[in-house]
Chains A and B, each alone.
Chain A
Amino acid sequence: GDSVTQMEGPVTLSEEAFLTINCTYTATGYPSLFWYVQYPGEGLQLLLKATKADDKGSNKGFEATYRKETTSFHLEKGSVQVSDSAVYFCALSDRPGGYQKVTFGTGTKLQVIP
């Protein structure tokens, strides 16, 4: 079945540091890939997505590129801020429409210190 593996946290960085959170996946078809973010005490919200190979999703300074050859979708940001402290979930969906089964990774907690 489908699965998502992401690096374990927590990840602690100083403000303005470079961020990478690794994510790899296993899927039988051509899934869509997502990064969701969960701020403390809140639900998950979509951060960015990519629907086909070599697509780059981007939002709020975060980027991730859909790499089919390495089955990866690593999240990057050039300069993190304290406000980026949150839990980040990598996810995939293998159905193009209708009911959308989404498989989530276990989440990576990011803490940014001033």
Chain B
Amino acid sequence: NAGVTQTPKFQVLKTGQSMTLQCAQDMNHNSMYWYRQDPGMGLRLIYYSASEGTTDKGEVPNGYNVSRLNKREFSLRLESAAPSQTSVYFCASSGGTPTQYFGPGTRLTVL
């Protein structure tokens, strides 16, 4: 099993550009999440999808949109990137227990 995969691993954007971060899981989990990790702030939840067909805002949703494409895939879109969105982004999934399984992360720099 690959677990949770994310693409790309690294990305550099200019202010105002858009991009989509991709996430997929092969564990048949219902719930998927997007976090950002910033120094000294731990992980903050951006959006989550409790089950296929539903998405909800987390703690820091402004500037982001998400799509739960199917049970396996959950993408995060930045429509107009800003330097404040420079961060490491993690996708995670869970399957009815409290344990979350994380992808390897995407390191995003916005110039």
Contacts and interface: CB of A to CB of B under 8 A. Distances in A.
Interface of A: 32, 34, 36, 41-46, 49, 51, 89, 93, 95-102, 104-107
Interface residues of B, number: 24
A52 B46 CA distance: 28
B50 A49 contact: no
B42 A32 contact: no
Contacts, number: 58
Contacts of A101: 45
B84 interface: no
Nearest to B9: A41
The prevalent SS among residues of B at the interface is: loop
B100 interface: yes
Nearest to B41: A106
Name the residue among B40, B48, B100 with the largest chain A CB count within 10 angstroms.
Answer: B100
A4 B31 CA distance: 22
Interface string B53-95: 0000000000000000000000000000000000000101010
Tell me what chain A mostly uses at the interface: helix, strand, loop, or mixed: loop
Contacts of A104: 42-43
Contacts of B4: 43
A55 to B, nearest CB: 13
Contacts of B30: 98
Contacts of A99: 31, 48, 50-51
Contacts of A42: 104-105
10 contacts: A32-B98, A34-B98, A42-B104, A45-B101, A49-B99, A89-B42, A97-B96, A100-B99, A104-B42, A106-B42
B1 interface: no
